[in-house]
């Protein structure tokens, strides 16, 4: 059952990589595969038992993905400290821009629903 779920995950990743090489070189292949998997699951309406088992088995190892960035921060601590204000400025600016964008997007998405409720 676990092998079947892992096979589905790898199949969607390979399909995304193939589409990346053939048609969409802008997006990474695993992201395309993830979007294809999302579409498949939305159409299907449920997550099957093999896929659920494989995903929960892989989820246990998710903290291991944080080890390389932590090591990079430790190795390049002097370089990061030298550019501290530039990094801080970039982070604050990107935070403010993304929050403003999310706010405007949310208002535009809620506005049609508010008009429908007022009309009813």
Phi and psi torsions of 42, nearest 5°: -65, -45
Q: State the average pLDDT over residues 21-48.
A: 92
pLDDT tens digit string along 50-68? 999 999 999 988 888 888 8
Query: Which positions ≥6 away from 8 have C-beta within 8 Å?
Result: 37, 50, 51, 54
- What 3-state class would DSSP assign to 79? helix
In the prediction, which pLDDT does 119 show?
A: 63
Mean pLDDT for all residues in the chain: 91
The pTM of this model reads 0.59
Q: Which helix (H) or strand (E) holds 75?
A: helix 67-75
What pLDDT, on the 0 to 100 scale, is given for residue 66?
86
The answer to whether residue 112 scores a pLDDT higher than 80 is no
* Residue pair 11/54 in contact by the 8 Å Cβ criterion: no
């Amino acid at each position: 059952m676990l092998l079947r779920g892992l096979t589905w995950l790898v199949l969607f990743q390979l399909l995304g990589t193939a589409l990346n090489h053939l048609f969409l070189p802008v997006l990474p292949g695993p992201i395309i595969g993830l979007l294809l998997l999302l579409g498949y699951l939305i159409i299907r309406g449920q997550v099957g038992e093999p896929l659920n088992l494989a995903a929960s088995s892989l989820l246990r190892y998710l903290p291991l993905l944080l080890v390389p960035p932590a090591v990079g921060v430790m190795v390049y601590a002097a370089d990061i400290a030298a550019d501290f204000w530039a990094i801080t400025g970039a982070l604050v600016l990107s935070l403010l821009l993304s929050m403003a964008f999310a706010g405007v997007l949310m208002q535009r998405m809620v506005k049609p629903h508010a008009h429908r409720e007022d009309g009813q």
